[in-house]
Amino acid sequence: MRIVRLVMVLMLGCFGMTAMAQTKKGTLVTAKIATPTVRCEQCKNRIERYLSGEEGVQSSKVDFKKGETTVKFYSDRTNIENVKTAIANAGYDADNVTANEESYKKLPTCCKKPEDGGTPDKKKN
């Protein structure tokens, strides 16, 4: 009888520790990233869609009028530099990380900088 109780206690302890380990998450971090080259709604949608596929990113909100992107991510799965790199890989500048050249070339003309044939700055209109 004692052995059965001991086994039951050990099993409950193991299940309890497993449940705690599965529910433990990293800290949810909110960061604002300057994205001055985001020009329109297409750019906004492109970045938000791109970031939704990044591991650890819970949500993103691009404000092209302010030129900033707010990202919520789990610190145990990614970090701010990875998020900035993801934005750069989508073709846009992110703080001190410049846009990936190949990705930038693939952007529609309206999403490019005015000096590259894009539309004038809509933020000032």
What per-residue confidence (pLDDT) applies to 11?
A: 58
The answer to whether 86 and 51 have CB atoms below 8 angstroms apart is yes
Q: How far is CA 37 from CA 40, 54, 57, in A?
A: 9, 21, 21
71 close to 30: Cβ distance less than 8 angstroms: yes
pTM of the model: 0.75
At residue 72, what are phi and psi to the nearest 5 degrees? -110, 125
Q: How far apart are the C-alpha atoms of 88 and 47, rounded to whole Å? A: 9
Topology at the third CATH level for domain 28-114? Alpha-Beta Plaits (3.30.70)
Annotated domain spans of the chain: 28-114
Spans in the chain with pLDDT lower than 70: 1-25, 121-125
Nearest alpha carbon to residue 75 among 27, 116, 9: 27
Question: What's the CA gap between 52 and 15, in Å, rounded?
Answer: 33
